Amino acid sequence: MFARLKALPLAFVLLISGVYVLLPIGSAAEFSLRQPATQDHGFKNYLWIFEQPEFAHYVGVSFALAAVASIILLALLVPTVVWLNLKGQKLRPFVDFITLMPLVIPVVALAIGAQNSLPEFAQTNQFILSFLYAVLAMPYAYRTLDTGLKAIPLKTISEAARGLGANWTVTIFRVISPVIRGTVLSALFMSLALSFGEFTITSLLHWDTFTTWVTVISQQNVMGAIALSVFSLAAIFIFLLLVGLLVKPATSQVTKEEE
């Protein structure tokens, strides 16, 4: 009886949260399907998205920038977090503080600072955005990787690999990384999602990506802009769902290996 009473507040909170999140999304989806000319519903607004000649181009540009940002971030953070958990415990507070700085520094200040401090060749290359995207995603990816590494017997795995003659590069990327595959992919998804949707730095540095293109194209078709927003949200949600279904947690992977 008491267990049921305790479960009621949780169920109520989940219900209210679900309504709070799903009701606006459902309303936007229904509005995006309206056809004012015929007073019915259809997919004309969604077809308008794919009819835009620059749609595929800007999706490809943003995806390429996001992919490079994710590679930079993982190549930097995975060895760093492994080293912190093995030998760098004294420096952990300092690293924690450094990785929080992108949340403290305003994005506008970061963009203007990069524009004034970077060399000229970097300012004329669009892929400089990938480095800035990696900085913005660092606080989330770092803590995701750190949590995943704490869930496995990292010291035992690394000592076994080193004892068999593997160097640190092989140990990190071919022994430890596969064990925390789920954690790495979660950090990868966070980096991709943040990079793909970043707008402020891109616009301040005067580059054109998917987010800036959406802002411009939205002024031409209000209904199409709403459909584009719903489509983008649905695509990200489906990608997240697939990651959750296909990737196993690090703890379950280690348990199976021990069995």
> Nearest-CA neighbor of 254 among 125, 124, 148?
148
| Residue 99 burial class via C-beta count within 10 angstroms: exposed 0-12, middle 13-18, buried 19 and up | buried
Element of type H or E holding 41? strand 40-41
Task: Give me the residue label for tokens 């506008």.
Answer: 108
Q: Residues for the chain: how many in total?
A: 259
Do 250 and 183 contact (CB within 8 A), yes or no? yes
Indicate whether 104 belongs to any domain: yes
Domain that holds residue 64: 55-258
* Helix 128-150 × helix 107-117 angle, to 10°: 130
Indicate whether 9 belongs to any domain: no
CATH number (domain holding residue 237): 1.10.3720.10
Task: Report the DSSP pairing between strands 34-35 and 40-41.
Answer: antiparallel
**How many folded domains does the chain comprise?**
1
Indicate whether 138 belongs to any domain: yes
Indicate whether 17 belongs to any domain: no
Indicate whether 24 belongs to any domain: no
Query: Within 10 A of 190 (CB to CB), how many other CB atoms are there?
Result: 19
Indicate whether 5 belongs to any domain: no
Radius of gyration of the chain (CA): 22
Query: Within 10 A of 248 (CB to CB), how many other CB atoms are there?
Result: 11
Indicate whether 23 belongs to any domain: no
Q: What is the chain's pLDDT, residue by residue, as a tens digit (259 residues)?
A: 445 545 557 677 777 877 877 788 788 888 888 877 777 788 888 888 888 888 888 888 888 888 888 888 888 888 888 888 888 788 888 988 988 888 888 888 888 887 777 777 777 788 888 888 888 889 988 988 888 888 888 888 888 888 888 888 888 878 887 787 778 887 888 787 788 778 888 888 888 888 888 888 877 777 887 888 888 777 777 776 776 676 555 444 444 444 4
Task: Give me the residue label for tokens 């000319």.
Answer: 37
Indicate whether 69 belongs to any domain: yes
Dihedral sign for Cα 60, 233, 142, 81, please. negative
How far apart (Å, rounded) are the C-alpha atoms in residues 67 and 180?
A: 20
